[in-house]
């Protein structure tokens, strides 16, 4: 069995890449639901059903632990799946908590009551579905008080990245940052709440200015996963890793190879 990493498309490869570097001894199985991407424009019920189906596919391929490296899936499906009960020996984790722990300067797994933190004004850039869910604000409230979060829905960015249109993606990022700054002129920190966005991190940083600390997810999620596997070594995969997609395997392989700038070969999920 391997540790599973799931995303609606290619964005989760940024998390996978960081996890492979941090945990080279672990096998990873990546599954992209490219046939239904992007999730960020779908309603919550649709995202939940697609996510549950994808996770069940990964369980069937031997993954006891699945990371939802898709913020939209984490926002719309994670809590519902966990509260609905998981099969014995199976776990599903999301990507919000590692970000919030870093933002609030908590130690890994610190479950103490919410408290005042130094960062008071936070910009959140995310997909329309993630923004609508308010899941980030809900998770933040478990750990911090007195933090003002201004969310900016970044329509079109994921599509442009998936299509390989960097010029359009950069233009959209600058436009969304400008829109955010009209609502919150001086954010102290910015959350890149989509696993596609780290590819545009430099553009976000330049548009926001050097005084804004930008948090993206790859390394943070990888570090959190490493700590989780230290506490739960029985969840560490030792079987066949690889790359699965619900879409056109040849096309997804080409885009993924460009995405990470190394050869990646997907096979069709069945």
Residues identified as active-site: 70, 194
Return all residues near 211 (Cβ < 8 A) that are at least 6 apart.
none
Tokens of 32: 């992209």
**Cα–Cα distance for residue pair 149/215, rounded to 1 Å:** 14
Query: What's the rounded Cα separation, in Å, for the pair 40 and 126?
Result: 9
Asked whether the CA dihedral 221, 222, 226, 229 is positive or negative, the reply is: positive
Distance CA 1, CA 3 (A): 7
Residue the block writes with tokens 């189906």: 53
Distance CA 21, CA 220 (A): 12
């Amino acid at each position: 069995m391997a540790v599973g990493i799931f995303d609606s498309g290619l964005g989760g490869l940024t998390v996978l890449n960081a996890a492979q570097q941090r945990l080279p001894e672990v096998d990873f199985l990546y599954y992209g639901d490219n046939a239904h991407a992007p999730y960020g424009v779908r309603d919550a019920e649709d995202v939940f059903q697609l996510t549950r189906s994808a996770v069940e596919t990964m369980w069937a391929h031997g993954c006891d632990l699945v990371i939802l490296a898709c913020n939209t899936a984490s926002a719309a499906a994670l809590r519902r799946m966990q509260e609905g009960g998981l099969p014995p020996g199976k776990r599903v984790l999301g990507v919000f908590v590692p970000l919030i722990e870093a933002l609030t300067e908590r130690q890994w797994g610190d479950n103490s009551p919410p408290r005042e933190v130094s960062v008071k004004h936070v910009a959140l850039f995310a997909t329309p579905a993630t923004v609508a869910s308010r899941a980030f604000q809900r998770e933040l409230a478990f750990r911090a008080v007195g933090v003002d979060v201004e969310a900016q829905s970044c329509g079109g960015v994921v599509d442009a990245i998936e299509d390989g249109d960097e010029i359009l993606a950069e233009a959209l990022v600058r436009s969304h940052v400008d829109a955010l700054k009209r609502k919150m002129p001086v954010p102290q920190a910015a959350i890149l709440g989509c696993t596609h966005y780290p590819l545009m991190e430099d553009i976000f940083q330049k548009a926001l200015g050097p005084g804004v600390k930008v948090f993206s997810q790859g390394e943070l999620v990888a570090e959190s996963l490493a700590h989780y596997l230290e506490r739960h070594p029985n969840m560490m995969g030792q079987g066949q890793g690889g790359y699965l997609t619900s879409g056109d395997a040849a096309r997804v392989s080409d885009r993924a190879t460009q995405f990470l700038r190394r050869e990646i070969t997907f096979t069709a999920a069945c």
